[in-house]
Amino acid sequence: MSKRMRGMVKAAVLAVLAPLALAACGGGGSGDTPRFVSGTTAGPVAGASASPSAAAEQPAAFSFSITPAANAKGLPVSAEIGLKLDGAEVTAVTLAEAGGGKVSGTIRDDGTSWVPSSPLKYGKKYTATVTASKGGASATQTTTFTTMGEPGNRVGTGLYLFDGKTYGVAMPVVVEFHPGVPKKDRASVQKRMFVSTDPPQPGAWHWVSNGTQAYYRAPEYWQSGTKITARIALGGHPMGSGKYGDTDRKATAKIGERFEIKVENKTKKMTVLKNGKVVKTLPVSLGKKATPSASGTMVVMDKKEQTVFDTTDDPNPADRYRVDIAFAQRLTWSGQYIHAAPWSVAQQGRTNVSHGCVNVSTENASWLFSQTKIGDPVTVTGTEEKLAPGNGWTAWNMSWKEFIKGSALPVAP
């Protein structure tokens, strides 16, 4: 009785992560059959004889191709094993370092390549062996290639997602690049940024205009309880202008309960919702006319129970101050926060007197601080200023139709 390999491609998107320092201010019938499963093919029943036509039938020969080309040299350590199958199905992939061990990996969802689970080593020779089947026939292709030496010019990367942490429903997967990625190179970089969600939810990437950040989000806020797994597989990957990614980054995180903050300038009130239900309404004071608060949908980016706001280097003397701040929650890179402001309690709910922040009483700020998570959405409406793209994690400050225009690759409906 002969053996054969069989299986289906199992969806796999790899996860990564290492935090970038932030400045203050399955089972049967599920379709989850493992990709390569050993099995046996039933032989003829004892005493039975095959018909002449069946005995004469032979599987038709076929061919397929793989990349890199044989004996290719100087490849980046992000190299993948390309697959051109013409109707065939991959049944096994082996990638081995010369004199070293085997490399694990998975096939892309679209079947176009096999992706190593981690960067290859610099200046090493590898041999890839791929076996595929079609119409009962089997064929194998092999290629050997060598990776490049370690590069000198790197692009610094960061992933704003921490392994094992719980985030709010508006938490985008945020990747940062220093320097920014040129527009012509973003598609290649984006292909190496993998995100999966459980339960599955569609998602897409959006690049900010200067290429220093990219956000990944779904059409709607994440479902509470979602597990997000990310792998930003850019270690040694070409990033444009002769530069290469610094390292792979991975993380798996969880989305907590839905907690939303809505602030209306007209009423000078903050409405706090938990799982869609109003739990509290608080008076606020927003930015005065000279320094208005920005209107838009923001995300809590950072939380500090105690901090110092210092603007003593501001060119406008009227805007220079240094003050201790309690229960600060950052909303923008430009310095818009929700925080305790005991000095403006008399104005909260009545007039705007802040330098752009959302002022609440110390008691209310303490309560709010105890409830929120990084990634909770905060929407401010009715002010004189609009939130600028990229001023904070602005992934949700646009419609889905607008958002997907920022992808470097086509987005499926």
To the query of whether residue 357 is one of the catalytic residues in this protein, the response is yes
To the query of whether residue 339 is one of the catalytic residues in this protein, the response is yes
Return d(Cα 24, Cα 308) in angstroms, integer.
Answer: 10
Catalytic hit among 206, 237, 355, 357: 357
The residues, ordered by sequence, that sit 6+ positions from 290 with a Cβ below 8 Å of its Cβ are none
- Annotate 52-104 with DSSP letters as a single string: HHHHH--PPP---EEESPTTEEEE-TT--EEEE-TT-EEEEEEEEETTS-EE-
Quick one: which of 354, 192, 370, 342 has its CA closest to 274? 370
Question: Would you say residue 150 has pLDDT above 80?
Answer: yes
Quick one: which of 334, 252, 18 has its CA closest to 156? 18
Task: Say what percent of the chain tops pLDDT 90.
Answer: 79
Task: Say what percent of the chain tops pLDDT 70.
Answer: 86
Residue-level pLDDT at 22? 32
Quick: pLDDT tens for 169-207: 999 999 999 999 999 999 999 999 999 999 999 999 999
Quick: pLDDT tens for 212-260: 999 999 999 999 999 999 999 999 999 999 999 999 999 999 999 999 9
Q: CA dist 73 to 77, 93, 143, 146, 148, Å?
A: 11, 21, 12, 5, 7
| Fold observed for domain 63-150 | Immunoglobulin-like (2.60.40)
**φ and ψ at 30, to 5 degrees?**
-90, -15
Kindly list the strands in the beta sheet with 277-283, ordered across the sheet, starting from the edge strand earlier in the chain. Answer: 277-283, 269-274, 259-264, 377-381, 294-299, 385-386
Question: Would you say residue 3 has pLDDT above 80?
Answer: no
Return d(Cα 213, Cα 177) in angstroms, integer.
Answer: 6
Residue-level pLDDT at 413? 76
63-150 and 154-255: same fold? yes
> Which residues, in sequence order, are bridge partners of residue 89?
133
Residue-level pLDDT at 197? 98
Residue-level pLDDT at 49? 41
- The domain segmentation of the chain, as residue ranges, is 63-150, 154-255, 259-382
How many Å from the N-terminal Cα to the C-terminal Cα in the chain?
Answer: 46
CATH number assigned to the domain covering 259-382: 2.40.440.10
Domain 154-255 class in CATH: mainly beta
For residues 4 and 302, which has the higher predicted lDDT (pLDDT)?
302
Query: What is the identity of the amino acid at 316?
Result: N
Catalytic hit among 206, 237, 339, 355: 339
pTM summary value:
0.83
Quick: pLDDT tens for 6-64: 333 333 333 333 333 333 333 333 333 333 322 222 333 333 344 445 445 667 788 89
